[in-house]
Amino acid sequence: MAAHAMVARVRERNFYLLMALTLAAITFIGFARTWFLRGLFPEMQPFVPSEAVFTLHGALATLWFVWLIAQVLLIRRGDYALHRTMGYVGVLLAILLVTVGLYAASVAAARPGGFIGISAPPDQFFAIPFFDLVMFGLFFGSAVVARKNPQAHKRLVLFATINIIDAAVARIPLAVITENVPVSFYFGSWILIAAVIAWDLVTLRRVHPVTLVAGVLTLAVQFGRFAIMDTPAWLGFANGFIGILLGGA
């Protein structure tokens, strides 16, 4: 029985490490040409934001994935004390990521050309990054509250990160993505959610309640934003929100 439990723990830790590495890989591939390896792709320079806040945003997002992988590795080696201490770093990173991300999105929406490479009106498209970051904050905040429930905690951190990879997915130069915008933004998250569901079914013989609620909520918000993004209510909110954030800029 003890040996079986140990094997199960190893498999679980391998699964979460694989998920963390997959999320990081998607982000690296998506932003390779405009962030990580941009020196190798001079033709992509027109698609690189010039505002300094995007450099900060990119650095914070990079640190988030480094932190995520480090946290999984700490659990793998049984260093729970350092994992808990690093959790405070994660809280700070999450707060900065949401704050700077919303400000950066507001800067992009307010610039004369709007979001780079996006033909949709900027106040409409603002719904995409806004809800990504809101969902990230909601799930990670819930993960902090549920930190004494490991099964809930790790799934919530995973879903928080899944909700911020659509920008990377959208930048992957594959025809299946570029020809199906904007729905293709979410292809990556759907595959990852399916992987979590499959993991639950294999290991628990059921879908974990967190997976079910977080998965349904993620999908509902993904599609819901398209339904509201051109409504007067959303446009009024978006323009007001952007104006507040940039009012002192």
The pLDDT confidence band at residue 8, using thresholds 50, 70 and 90, is confident
* pLDDT for the residue numbered 10: 82
Exposure b/e, 178-192, CB count within 10 A at least 16 = b: eeeebebbbbbbbeb
Q: How far apart are CA 188 and CA 194, in angstroms?
A: 10
Q: How far apart are CA 78 and CA 72, in angstroms?
A: 10
Each residue's pLDDT tens digit, 115-172: 998 888 999 999 999 999 999 999 999 999 999 999 999 999 999 999 999 999 989 9
* Residues comprising the chain, all counted: 249
* pLDDT for the residue numbered 32: 94
Peptide bond into 182 cis (omega under 30): yes
Structure tokens at 16: 């979460």
Task: Pick the range with the lowest mean pLDDT from 74-78, 131-135, 155-159, 185-189.
Answer: 185-189
* Best CA proximity match to 186, nearest among 213, 168, 211, 159: 168
Q: Evaluate if residue 1 carries a pLDDT over 60.
A: no
- Average pLDDT for the chain: 93
